[in-house]
Chains A and B, each alone.
Chain A
Amino acid sequence: MNHFVNYYKGYVKVRLISLAPERFFNMCSNHEIYIWNLKNHDDAYEFYIYRKDFLKLKNILRKSKSKIIILEKKGFPMFLFKNRKRKAFFCGIVIAFVFLTIMSMFIWDVEINGNVTETDNIIFDYLKEQSVCHGTLKSKIDCEKMEEKLRARFNDIIWASVQINGTRLIVSVQEGNARRIIDKKDKNVPMDLIAKKDGIIENIITRRGVPQVTKGSTVKKGDILVLGRIEILNDAKEVCDYQYCQSDSDIFGRTEYTYKDEFSLTYNKKVYTNKKKVSHSIRAFDYLLKIGAQKIPYKHYDFTANEKQLKLSTNFYLPFFLETNIYEEYKVVKNQYTKEQATKIEKLRLKRYCKNLIEKGVQIVENNVIIEVNKKSCIGNGEIIVIEPIGTYQETEILEVPKNTESEEGNLQ
C-alpha cells in the first residue's frame, strides 16, 4: 500500500553534501517534509523525498548551506512526464475509460429467477416486447412499472421484482401456488359456470349462484352448472324480477381421457464413432466471428453449443460471447426392440402422460390402458378416468323481466 502511494505521488532519491546535515534534517522535520531511507556515506547523505517536498527544499538548502544532487526519479508523475510525447498511449487510456462508461450504460445480461410454469423464454419475449432486453439503456428502464406490467400480464405471477445490478437486469418472480384455472373477469359482469367437458359431477360446492346439477348428474360440454341469474318469485310463485351475480363454485367432475400411443419396434440407434470436431466463434451483437475451418465432414452428428458471456466483474457483463461448438459424429444402425423392452418403454410413456395430468391438478381414479405388442409396433390404448375441475365461466344471459300486472300490484301493496 505504501509503495503504491509513493509511486502515485512520485519521489526522488537525492544525495546531500553539507557541512551541517543535522541542521538540514531538523529543518526538514520542522517544515513537515517527510524523508525516508536516510543513509550515511562518509560525508554525504542519501535519502528519498517526495517530488512535491523536493520543490520546497530551496530555502532550507540555502540556510543550511548544502548542496543536493538528484540520483533517481521514480513514480507516476515522472512516468507521465517521460512519456508525454506518446499521444496514442494517452488516447488509448482515454478511449478505454470512455468505452467502459458507455458499456456500463446498457443492459447486457438478463437473468430470470423463480419462474416454474412460465418459461424463461415467455417472460423474456414479453420483456422484449416492452423493449427491455439486451442493449437497452439502463436509464430507460422503469423497474417499478415493469414489475406492475409483469404482474398484469401473467396471472400466475403474484410477486415480481425487477432490479438493475451493474449491467445486469435481474427479474425475480413468485408464482402463486393456488392455480387460477379460470380467469376472474370483471366482477360486475354476471357469470354462469358451464361444463368444459362431458362427465359426471363428483362434487359441487356453490358459494354464489344457483346450482343446476347435483352430485351424480351427467353433464355434456356446454351445459350450465351454476346459474348466475337468481329468480325472485312473488307470492303467486311467479317470476317478478331477476338478480344477477357472478357464480362462484368448486365443481369436480369425473371425466375420461382417451389414451392412444403407438411406436414402431424398429428404431435408429446412434453409434458414436468417437470422432469429434470443435469450432470456436466470438459473437458481438448480431455479428459472428468464426475461428478456424467451419466445414463439417460428417453425415450424422450431434451438435452441442456452449455460450459464455464475457464479464468484467460479477455484475458488469459485456455484450461479447464466446461460443464453442462441438460436433460428434455417429453412425445410424437399425435396431429392433424386444417385446419386454417395448412394454417397458410404453409403460414409461404412459407414466409420463399421467404425471403431466397430475401436474395440471387432475386426480386419476382409474387407468384402463392396455399395452399390446405386435410384429411391427407397440400400442398403448385405453381410457384414463380422472376427477378434475370441470367448470368454466360464461356470461349470463340477461332475460327481460316478465310483465305481470298482478305482481306489480302486489309490490305496490
Chain B
Amino acid sequence: MKKRSINLSREVRKVKKNVVEGLDLPKDIMYGAVIVTAMGPFEAYIENYKGIMEYTENKIKIQTKNCRLEILGKKLLISYYTNEEMKITGTIQAINYEL
C-alpha cells in the first residue's frame, strides 16, 4: 500500500514536470523555486522564500519551499525584508543550496 502511494506521487511529479516543460510555464511559480538575483558581490535579491532561519554578520540562512539557502559573507545587512522579497547587501562570498 505504502509503496503504491510513493509510486503514485512519483508519477504525479513526473506528469507535472512534463506539463510544466511542455507548456513552458514559469518554473518559479510551478515548483515554488527560490529566485536569487545577485549583483556582483555586493547585492542580492531573494524572492519566493518562507523565512529566515539564521542571521548573523557572516551568515544568512533562508528557508525556501524546496531547499535551504545559505549566504556567506562579511558585514551582511538586510536592506529590507518583506513577505515576498528581501535585499541583502554587504560582501557576499558564497551562495550555497542545501538540498
Residues of chain A contacted by B54 (CB below 8 angstroms): 22
B83 at the interface (CB under 8 A from A): yes
A28 at interface, CB cutoff 8 A: yes
Give min CB distance, A26 to chain B, whole Å.
4
Nearest CB of chain A from residue B6's CB, rounded to whole Å: 32
The answer to whether B82 and A40 touch across the interface, beta carbons within 8 angstroms, is: no
Binds A, one of B13-21, B29-37, B72-80: B72-80
Task: Tell me whether A22 and B52 are in contact (CB under 8 A).
Answer: yes
For B55, list chain A residues within 8 Å (CB): 21-22, 25, 38, 40, 45
Q: Which residues A7-37 have CB closer than 8 A to chain B?
A: 21-22, 25-26, 28-30, 32, 34-37
Contacts of A36 in B (CB 8 A): 78-81
Contact check, A40 vs B76: say whether CB atoms are below 8 A apart.
Answer: yes
How far is it, in angstroms, between the C-alpha of A308 and the C-alpha of B54 when the chains are bound? 67
- Is A39 among interface residues, defined by CB-CB distance under 8 A? yes
| A52 CA to B60 CA, complexed, in Å | 28
Question: Are A37 and B82 CB-contacts (below 8 A) given A22-B51, A22-B55, A26-B51?
Answer: no
CB nearest to A34 among chain B residues: B82
Chain A residues with Cβ under 8 A from B81's Cβ? 25, 28-29, 34-36, 38
Given contacts A40-B56, A40-B57, contact A29 B78 (CB under 8 A): no
Residues in B whose Cβ lies below 8 Å from that of A45: 55
Cα distance A115–B87 in the bound complex, in angstroms? 63
User: What's the minimum C-beta distance from A32 to chain B, rounded to whole angstroms?
Assistant: 6
With an 8 A cutoff between CB atoms, is B53 at the interface?
yes
Minimum CB distance partner of A30 in chain B: B83
Report the Cα distance A413→B65, complex, angstroms: 118
Contacts of A32 in B (CB 8 A): 82-83
Set of chain A residues within 8 Å of B56, measured between Cβ atoms:
40
- Which residues of chain A have C-beta atoms less than 8 A from B52's C-beta? 22, 25-26
Given the complex, which residues of B lie within 8 Å of A38, measured CB to CB? 55, 77-79, 81
A34 to B87, CA, bound (A): 12
* Set of chain A residues within 8 Å of B77, measured between Cβ atoms: 37-40
Contact with B along A36-52 (1 / 0, CB 8 A): 11111100010100000
CB nearest neighbor in B for A40:
B57
Q: What residues of A have a CB within 8 angstroms of the CB of B51 in the complex?
A: 22, 25-26, 29
Query: What is the chain B residue whose CB lies nearest that of A29?
Result: B83
- Residues in B whose Cβ lies below 8 Å from that of A40: 55-57, 76-77
In whole angstroms, what is the CA distance A26 to B82 when docked?
Answer: 9
Contact bitstring B19-52, A, C-beta under 8 A = 1, else 0: 0000000000000000000000000000000111
**Bound Cα distance from A120 to B83, whole angstroms:** 66
A54 to chain B, nearest CB (A): 15
Contact across chains for B80 and A35 when beta carbons are under 8 A apart: yes
- How far, in angstroms, from A40 to B73 measured CA to CA in the complex? 13
Cα(A28)–Cα(B83), bound, Å: 9
Q: How far is the CA of A349 from the CA of B74 in the complex (A)?
A: 90
State in angstroms the CA–CA spacing of A277 and B13 once bound together: 94
Q: How far is the CA of A63 from the CA of B91 in the complex (A)?
A: 33
Name A28's closest neighbour in chain B (CB-CB): B81
* Distance of A393 from chain B, by nearest CB (Å): 84
Docked CA distance A26–B83 (Å): 8
Whose C-beta in chain B lies nearest to the C-beta of A21?
B55
7 nearest A-B pairs in the assembled complex, by CB-CB distance: A38-B78, A26-B51, A36-B80, A22-B52, A40-B57, A29-B83, A25-B52
Chain A interface (Cβ < 8 Å from any Cβ of B)? 21-22, 25-26, 28-30, 32, 34-41, 45, 47
Beyond contacts A29-B83, A36-B78, A37-B79: 17 other A-B pairs, Cβ-Cβ < 8 A, are A22-B52, A25-B51, A26-B50, A26-B51, A28-B81, A29-B81, A29-B82, A34-B80, A36-B80, A36-B81, A37-B78, A38-B79, A38-B81, A40-B56, A40-B57, A40-B77, A45-B55
Sample 5 A-B pairs with CB under 8 A, ordered by A number: A25-B51, A37-B77, A37-B79, A37-B80, A40-B76
